[in-house]
Amino acid sequence: MNAILKPTPHTTLVSLRQLNKHYGDFTAVDNLSLEIQDGEFLTFLGSSGSGKSTTLSMLAGFETPSSGEIEVAGRSLVNVPPHKRDIGMVFQRYSLFPHMSVRDNIAFPLAIRKLPAAERDKRVNAMLKLVQLEAFAHRRPAQLSGGQQQRVAIARALVYEPRILLMDEPLGALDKKLREDLQDELRHLHRRLGITIVYVTHDQEEAMRLSQRIAIFSHGKVVGLGSGVELYQNPPNAFVASFLGNSNFLQATATGNAGAVFEGQPVSIRPQAQTGSQQPLLLMVRPEKALALSQAAAAATPLPPGWNEVAATVSEVLFLGESQTCSAVTAGGTALTVKALSASGMALTPGEAVRVRWAAGDACVYTEWAAADLKKG
């Protein structure tokens, strides 16, 4: 099959340029530009209404851009109908034909393209083997589990060897364990085929498990783009820091020379942070990068160079199996969360006075943000 050929690495396959989609006065996609690499697994991540599914629909040809350009391998697709775009599509609803067998469902795209019977059989057999449904070839969709039906839908989308596979929340209707199993299968499938996959989800954990790169959407724009590691460890802005994972936000004021003041107390910030004196700052510390120590433990453990420490009071401690979290509040009302492995023995109780510590180098520094950026969704 042609799809098994590995793509040239780092070659741009899809270019979205200044793409806009308006519905009356509502802007669903706002001047979006994005390049998708040949053979990559890229996920569009965002909350409902962020523009991710609309962008996918324009790439598929189900929606027409209000303005802008969509190119695949240098060819404009704006006026090309969906069935001529060489793009496969998998939806959350399986959309299988209930009266057809698994084999006939997979063969359907080949039948409407009038491929010879021998070639159809060859490709369908290869797909059944790929998605591990050979023993179920003659069953109908109603006789399959949800996960099996979704594998049929994936096989049907791949059987005519599209260059690009688009997936819109394909695992959203499945339970957690089955969803994780199929995520693993999708990852392995992508590695074997080398096909370009563009995947839409609102589930950040799913995006992190599947993707080589993630495009984070908000209000019709891509506000963060990179690998999961890059976006999590060094979010480009406060919105991405808030949306992807959990974060502690501390509002401070710069004092110059890699220093700032938080709730009247001097703290250190990253030396490379570009700040002006008296400039408002937002510091972001991931919960697993912070430590919460009892007063006795803090007194017995000197503060390491380059670390900060603030006083707080424990409000809640949650045991989560392999990890536990401690929620605390500073005297100025800033909420802080500390996450540690359960084996670390973080034995704290609500109402207890603690010292929360973090390394200055572990705190991202933002000079521009809005209150709405610090809320999920």
**Bigger pLDDT: 67 or 194?**
67
Q: How many residues in the chain?
A: 377
**Bigger pLDDT: 58 or 270?**
58
pLDDT of 8 above 80: no
Give the whole-angstrom CA distance, residue 65 versus residue 77.
11
Task: Go through 218-253 and write b for each residue having 16 or more CB atoms within 10 A of its CB, e for each that does not.
Answer: bebbbbbbbebeebbeebbbbbbbbbbbebbbbebe
Which pLDDT band, with edges at 50, 70 and 90, does 7 fall under?
very low
pLDDT at 174: 76
Please report the domains of the chain, with CATH numbers, ordered by start residue: 2-238 (3.40.50.300), 247-374 (2.40.50.100)
The rounded mean pLDDT for the chain is 91
pLDDT at 9: 52
279 φ, ψ to 5°?
-80, 130
pLDDT at 376: 58
SS3 at position 237:
coil
pLDDT at 51: 97
SS3 at position 207:
helix
